Structure 1
Amino acid sequence: MIRKIALAALAATAVFHVAVFIEYGTLWVGALASYQELLLVFAFLLATFLVHAPIARLFGADRLTKPPAPVKALLEGLSVVLVSLVFWVMFFTIPQHYLVPTAEVTPKALRLSLAVSAVLSLFFYYFVEREHMRKNLEQEVIRAAQLQKETFQAQLEALQKQVDPHFLFNSLNVLGSLIHLDADRAVQFLGQLAEVYRALLDTGAQPLVPLHREMALVRAYASLMETRFGAALRVEWDVAPAWEQALVPPTAVQMLLENAIKHNGSTTRKPLLIKVSAADGLLVVENNRQPRTDAVASTHTGLPNIQRRYQHLTDRPVEIVPTAASFVVRLPLLTAPAA
């Protein structure tokens, strides 16, 4: 609003003095009363600028898709001219009639005043408001591209971690042990491993996925890790079906489970407990803190990647609450559950 007021004031001053120069050959008007017209020009331009924004939104790229482009452009220009006609009557014709009732205005002067008002309105619409909308659209395109980049990066990192030789080595060792000890569990473990890869590949290049699809990946990954670590790892679930259609960035929840397992030690006496729940528009992943004594190689990109993706999607922040006893991450769910 302040920007529009300042722009209207500057434009009104410029237009008024140009008109004075054309009429009198000077930029200075001696009579203070003459500056009433400057106030009228300011009011006209301010009202025009305020109405231009909704017109630009109405005729934006994603609106009024039925009319052909030439018809749409013609309607847009006519709307601007029509608005200028209404404001010309409001801020010039009516005030002049009441402020200077004895003044004689020729039809030629009226036509010229109307034409100048329409041209001014079209000029400021296409070179100010539409330019502003164009820049906003460019920023949206950049934002969408950045979000897609972050999403691809997260998916690539997730796939790279799952095909990491260390991960595969451990998984194959577990599978080899289970084949000798429990053939049925070995088959189950192999199915879980395949499910993790299938769920990762199914996310595609989408910036958001339904929570139920993300939970399919998370449950498969959790089952795989529970089979590997046995009683040293427990994962508890409290996600009501009402939240399953909410949207989250793909692999975000899985990355939180992976971080918890990676950075915490666990034994059968002191198991790592991870709780996954949904409430009040948030997906909460909480684990008890049991820092590992051995060094863990980490790129430290998991949480920052999740935060950056959310910054492109919503103003709601990712909440990270570390304490001495627990580590809690709350992810905004981007749609409300069905009633």
Structure 2
Amino acid sequence: MARQRHTPKGRLLITGTVLLILLVAGILTAGRTINGVAVQMSGRIVRHISEYHYRLLQVEFERSEGVLDASVQFMRERTAPTDAELHVLAATLMRMDPKAGCVWFAEAGGRTIRSYPRGKTPRTTEAAGDFRQRLIAATDGDSVRSHVTGSGRIQVWSMACPVTDRTGRRHICGIDFPLPEIYTCMTQSPASSGYATLFDPEGVIVYHPDSLKLGRPASDSTGLAAFRKVAATGQSVTVHAISDYLNIDEERIYYPIQLGGRRWVAGIGIPRLVIEQEIDDFHFYTVFAAVISVLFFAVLLVLAQRRWRREYDLRRHSERESAQLHLQQLLEQIDPHFLFNSLNSLYALIRCNPDQAREFTLTLSRVYRRVLERRKQILSTLAEEIDFTWQYYTLQKIRFDDRIELTSAIDPALRNWRIPSMSLQTLVENAVKHNSITGGNPLHIRIRTEGESFLIENNYTPRSDGDKESLGMGLERIRSVYRFYTEENISISVGDGTFRCRLPLLPPEK
């Protein structure tokens, strides 16, 4: 039998099939791991959702306690408030909490209750026949008392707290929260993936997403056993139940809440459908991300491998160039000889012209302050460079008087274009340093823009003892900056007794 030979196309197909099998096997293996993680996630999802609802419920009902605290503080600070003042206080407190339906006041041992219901006329009722009688009788000391009772056909959660005013008289401040108002306020919250139930210490349902259960006692369907355990121990309890509200499986967590000086219980229910949906989404996006990542990595690996070495070499070169530029910039600041000559000029001016000496000192300080501020700055705008150079020229003018002259002609549209920092000052300093300046041969320096370039010219009469090496170092620093930022570079020419240097202008910073 002849030996079977594989064509390049067949080998590619075999290789692709093997890679596909390996990819599927990797995804299946990752799937098992993901399933294990998903099981752990389901518990965390339940906990996070329930804690979110629990915190919202706690904040909402703590606000109700805050309203009562505000009324107590008012009565403690006031002596015999008028009915008008109490009316205004009640209206203000009920604006603070939309769940509040009525604010009321009574004197300890008194027979009447002054109540201020929301949107209704204030009224006075006999304490003996009021539904708040049990709550008033239970108040003692300075502790808050609360109770759910009936006011006609409406169940009401009432809170009351005794308070002693400045004259020593004792009053009772109370607030009523009709359960339908609580239901209306709480159901206006944004839709979420769970629901909450709130029980008072006696097990009466104060809030439930099903309005028909308001005011009813806890039952097995609403978690009677869990309620008793949390009320007795103060510890949260997690149970698996069938929701009589949604008629589906759910995870339910019961938390203790301190309200009205007593321990209440909040039950947070999270349907299993929500958890399963979260896990399914997690599975889908994880697998999808894994597949895309593998394919994307396989494609990029071949392309990136060719660029890694080149980018590495370029980065190393850029780092070396940047380090060199920074070092050269620090080394190529204003020449120490300039400082020496400036101090000599200052010494002479102090003796012959003190006013001009003071001006010279201030200008010298501004020049060196600018140097310190810009010593780490590689590029500057043309306007900044010209301004700095004119300050430097002012010092030289004091030194050389009419033997030096600087003129400029700058296109205003190019003032924000950039050149290497201190490059213009360096060229002006070189012109001063390397030319013979006398009364019969003054130095004329001209700076101007030409197209997208910057040109500096000066008459060239080199000194016999000029420092050519220093000139080369200054220009090399400028060349290094241009090599770092652009392919253009400076051009220098000497002819007909004129030194010319052309600097390319770099576009403004975006």
Give TM-score scaled by structure 1 length: 0.60
Q: Which amino acid aligns with 1:316?
A: E
2:413 is matched with: 242
C-alpha distance in structure 2 between counterparts of 1:76 and 1:272, whole Å = 73
* Amino acid in the other structure paired with 1:151: L
1:151 aligns with 2:322: no
Q: Distance in 2 between matches of 1:133 and 1:218?
A: 44
Are 1:208 and 2:382 matched, yes or no?
no
User: 169, 187, 193: which is aligned to 2:358?
Assistant: 187
Query: Is 1:323 equivalent to 2:495 in the alignment?
Result: yes
Q: 2:484 aligns with which of 312, 324, 336?
A: 312
SS of the counterpart of 2:447? strand
Contact 2:418 2:508 in 1 (8 A): no
Deviation at 1:282, TM superposition (A): 0.8
Amino acid at match of 2:507: T
Calculate percent identity across the aligned residue pairs.
Answer: 28
Question: How do residues 1-339 of structure 1 correspond to structure 2 at under 5 angstroms?
Answer: 18-19=8-9, 78=292, 123=298, 125-159=299-333, 161-162=334-335, 164=336, 166-296=337-467, 298-299=469-470, 300-335=472-507
- Looking at structure 1, the residues matched to 384 and 435 of structure 2 have their Cα atoms a distance apart, in angstroms, of 26
In the TM superposition, residue 174 of structure 1 has moved relative to its aligned partner by 0.6
CA contact (8 A) 1:151 1:206 kept: no
Deviations 1:121-168 (A, max 9, x none): 964x43332234434543453354244324323322233x44x2x433
- Pick the structure with greater CA Rg: 2
Shift of 1:241: 2.9
How many angstroms apart in 2 are the aligned matches of 1:296 and 1:319?
20
Secondary structure of the residue aligned to 2:465 is coil
Residue deviations 1:21-53 (CA, integer Å, cap 9, x gap): 6899xxxxxxxxxxxxxxxxxxxxxxxxxxxxx
Tell me, what secondary structure is at the counterpart of 2:332? helix
Partners of 1:77 and 1:190 in 2: CA distance = 71
Normalized per residue, the structure richer in helix is 1
- What SS does the aligned partner of 1:141 have? helix
Distance in 1 (CA, whole Å) between partners of 2:504 and 2:291 is 42
Per the TM alignment, residue 289 of structure 1 is displaced from its structure 2 partner at its CA by 0.7
Q: One-letter code of the match for 1:214?
A: E
Q: Is the 8 A contact 1:238 1:276 kept in 2?
A: yes
Judged with a 3 Å threshold, the aligned counterparts in structure 2 of structure 1 residues 145 and 76 are, in CA distance, closer, same or farther, namely farther
With normalisation by structure 2, the TM-score equals: 0.41
Is the 2:345–2:399 Cα contact (8 Å) retained in structure 1? yes
Q: How many angstroms apart in 1 are the aligned matches of 2:460 and 2:9?
A: 74
What's 1:99 paired with?
A: none
Report deviation, 1:188.
1.6
Distance 1:134 1:325, change over 3 A: same
Amino acid at match of 2:504: P
How many angstroms does 1:335 deviate by? Answer: 1.2
Specify which structure has the bigger relative contact order, considering alpha-carbon pairs within 8 angstroms and separated by 6 or more residues.
1
Moved more, 247-256 or 198-207: 198-207
Residues 239, 277 of structure 1: 8 Å contact kept:
yes
Root-mean-square deviation (CA, aligned residues, Å) is: 3.2
CA distance in 2, matches of 1:319, 1:76: 56
| Contact map agreement 1:192 1:223 (CA 8 A) in 2 | yes
TM-superposed CA distance for 1:203, in Å, is 1.4
Question: 2: CA distance between counterparts of 1:226 and 1:254?
Answer: 14
Separation in 1, partners of 2:478, 2:294: 44
Summarize the Cα distance change of 1:307–1:23 in structure 2 as closer, same or farther, 3 Å threshold.
Answer: closer
Contact 1:275 1:285 in 2 (8 A): yes
Q: Which runs of 5+ in 2 are unaligned?
A: 1-5, 15-284
Distance 1:238 1:22, change over 3 A: closer
Distance, in Å, in 2 between the alignment partners of 1:194 and 1:175 is 12
Which amino acid letter does the alignment assign opposite residue 207 of structure 1? I
C-alpha distance 21-242 of structure 1, shift in aligned 2 (>3 A): closer
Unaligned runs of 5+ in 1: 1-15, 25-70, 82-120
Report the secondary structure of 1:328's partner residue. strand
SS in 2 for 1:273: strand
Amino acid paired to 2:500: V
Q: Distance in 2 between matches of 1:155 and 1:179?
A: 33
Whole-angstrom CA distance in 2 between matches of 1:76 and 1:264: 71
Q: Distance in 1 between matches of 2:386 and 2:311?
A: 34
Q: Tell me the CA shift for residue 206 of structure 1.
A: 2.9
Q: 1:323 to 1:170 in 2, by over 3 A?
A: same
**SS in structure 1 opposite 2:463?**
coil
Contact 1:281 1:333 in 2 (8 A): yes
